[in-house]
A = this chain, B = another copy of it.
Amino acid sequence: MPADKNFHMTPGEFRRYGKAMVDWIADYHERIESFPVMSPVKPGEIRASLPKAVPQTGEPFEGMMKDVDRLLLPGITHWQSPNFFAFFPSNNSFPSVLGEMLSAGLAVQGMMWATSPACTELETHVLDWLVEMLALPESFSSSSTGGGVIQDTASSASLCALLAARERATNFATNERGCDGRLVAYTSSQAHSSIEKAAKIAGIGRQNLRSIGVDDRFAMRPDLLAAQIKQDISAGHVPCFVCASVGTTSSNAIDPVREIGRICREHGIWLHVDAAMSGTAAICPEFRWVHDGLELADSYAFNPHKWMFTNFDCDCFYVADRKALIQTLSILPEYLRNQATESGAVIDYRDWHIQLGRRFRSLKLWFVIRHYGVEGLRHHIRRHIELAQQFASWVREDDRFELAAPAPLNLVCFRHRGGDEINQALMDRLNQSGDLYLTHTRLNDRIALRLCVGQTYTELRHVEHAWKRIREEASILGGTKKGN
């Protein structure tokens, strides 16, 4: 080994491989429609193909990229394909990738203001922008009593909200002495599974998470919520937390936040609003009705990493009263003490979430907002909703199919009238064909297929093709033929 051998990739090599990687990413985007959207591999197939032995000595980078192409790509399900209609989107854009690159290159820690002031201050700045862009309640702004923070996911945001709620309801006694089994929380039967996970994590227990029934639009029934709260109080429980959904994962149902908020205020219960995907719609004035009553909420989250062209992870979590959150999550050991923190003049975001360490995630959001501008973002959100509504109209017009739920925004739940078996087969055939990717849910105890329009590059032709393929497969499966 030469004396100066240090094993590092030199800046010159990085320039070369980095530029090749930029081209790879651009090429990937340009050829993405040529791949089957859902990976067709079998369990274990990818791993069996990978070089087995731990590399004892370093390898040239070119070989690794060959393995990416040859071995990994077949195992990728292409979330960035415009034919991806499954789950909720997790979309992306080139400006966001540039933000991720810069974040990785700087590689600073933003756990406290002092550990890289720009990381904290840009985050506060951009999260305040979003208050204005989505017309969120003024209390969520950092210049008011509250403020926003970037969390990894809506799951973590819901957990933090539940924790702050737990503490506020017990005068912060639970933080000291632990849960005593009396606290109860509420969400609808259609809420995301992360609420149940949060109740388990927080020591509330899932039996103490009340599942409130929904109306025929799958939205929480405030009358049932109010009745359950009264019953719990009579039984000696302590209601602490309600989670309302703006756009459930199953069917995009929108809970009546205003009515739920009034009930929460009456009883001093923390209201969290989970608008993971659908909150983004509020960037368009005509869709701001989704947030009706949000000024009654104590906390709120939506995910630019779902439907605002910002690479995962990027959940924006807001609280109306930052003190409750910070008091819940703050710990200051000696090795983190610093003058800025002690002065009280700065935000230390480590006290706003579960983790200590944190990345410079606001860069990608800043790039995305500045690149598209409000105008560009509105354009795409409107277009996605319009495409979903067109799809819904085609479903309505074909009497082999029916809508399985209202489609208020960009998710359409529909089903073939032929029953669960035919719907399952339809979905499996479509997904296995590689032409598009759909997932399912159950509504009124029957399978419903979900088509969510939210991938950055989805255009009319992709939705038209999806509908064509759905009808083709339905015909093969022998449903009643009809439609143009």
Contacts and interface: CB of A to CB of B under 8 A. Distances in A.
A208 B107 contact: no
A476 interface: no
Q: Does more than half of chain A's interface fall in helix, strand or loop, or is it mixed?
A: helix
A9 interface: yes
8 contacts: A11-B26, A47-B125, A58-B375, A72-B118, A90-B357, A155-B356, A201-B201, A312-B357
Contacts of A403: none
Contacts of A305: 357
A201 B202 contact: yes
A159 B56 contact: no
A59 B371 contact: yes
Contacts of A95: 9, 61
Interface stretch (A14-22, A214-222, A265-273): A14-22
B356 A153 contact: yes
Contact of A122 (B50, B105, B159, B179): B50
Given A68-B102, A97-B101, A163-B200, 12 more contacts: A7-B373, A18-B101, A39-B118, A43-B117, A46-B121, A80-B108, A155-B355, A175-B205, A179-B203, A197-B354, A313-B355, A334-B442
Which of A71, A166, A178: most chain B CB closer than 10 A? Answer: A178
A77 B43 contact: no
A425 B426 CA distance: 72
Contacts of A369: 54-55
* Interface residue tally on A, bucketed by range: 35 or more
A132 B54 CA distance: 8
A25 B14 contact: yes
Contact of A373 (B59, B80, B334): B59
Nearest to A248: B335
A61 B194 contact: no
A205 B178 contact: yes
Contacts of A201: 159, 163, 201-202, 354
